[in-house]
Amino acid sequence: MLLEKLASRAVSNHARQEGIHRELKKLEKMLPDIRDVLVDAEEKQMTNDGVKSWMEDLNDVAFDLDDLLDDIATEALRLELNMLESEASSSSKVRKLLILTCCTSFSSSTPSAIKLDHNMMSKVEEITARLENIETRQNSLNLVEIVEGDRSNRVRKRRDTSSSMDKSHVYGRENDKEAILDLLIDEASVDKVSVIPIVGMGDVGKTTLTKLVYDNERLKGHFDLKAWVCVSDDFDIVGVTKKILEAVSSTTHKDEALNMLQQKLKMNLSGKRFLLVLDDVWNENYKE
């Protein structure tokens, strides 16, 4: 998204006018190199605090760059409106009055506008320096390029998860927890299967938030049974189905075909209101 904004006409044209074109070109060169190692970084941050810190800093600077590019695009629009105003000066007085009314808040010659341009240049230089630091740290962390599609072909050891947790060490998620509980309770009365996705990059607290919901007192009486299944990277439909069946039936099922597993699962769930958590899902194939 940032690369698309950097390449936009509004940003490019204004950058040339204000002399920050060279700095933005630096950013354009750095971003693809950083993007290429994100898959590796997402995997390693689970066990490497240095990579986790790198990801957090990258996230911060990405948001700041996004805001800056929006500011540049807005400034470009202001200049374009001023140009239209000048071109319209030879038109009728009514037309001129209308344009001036629409553009009252814009001025290209005020001290505040000059100061804004200087501040914008300073922000670009600051963000460039921060990204250069991130790129340097990226090399020292031995992050390597991995194509996103290759993720499923890599063998990785990922932690299994359960619904158990020490809730006394969780802070600041009360509003999120209550919002999800409200959704679950509303959907529990509907005669259909509803899906509530909790989506985000690795290690931002999705599992922790779900644990706060799973054993909450407010859910008592709303569901006939509950099950927690950790999916992880090995998204094998037979394996996932078997895990779900074992969670809801408390029995082991070995070497059974998918059809048999699904029939047994249907028998265990039919006519019941159930809450099923599928944790640590990485697969993005909607059909699966």
Assess if residue 76 is contained within a domain: yes
Domain around 87: 2-153
The 10s digit of each residue's pLDDT in 199-253 is 887 767 888 889 989 988 999 889 999 999 998 877 888 989 999 999 999 888 8
> Backbone phi, then psi, for 259, in 5-degree steps?
-60, -45
Which band of pLDDT confidence, cut at 50, 70 and 90, is reported for residue 39? confident
Please state which of the ranges 31-40, 135-144, 149-158 shows the lowest mean pLDDT.
149-158
Specify the CATH number for the domain of residue 261.
Answer: 3.40.50.300
pTM: 0.48
243 and 180: one domain?
Answer: yes
Who has greater pLDDT, 41 or 201? 41
Q: How many domains does the chain have?
A: 2
To the nearest whole percent, how much of the chain has pLDDT over 70? Answer: 76
Euclidean distance between CA atoms 159 and 43, whole angstroms: 11
186 and 146: one domain?
Answer: no
What's the mean per-residue pLDDT of the chain?
78
Looking at residue 68, what is its pLDDT?
Answer: 84
The neighbouring-strand residues paired with 232 are 281
14 and 145: one domain?
Answer: yes
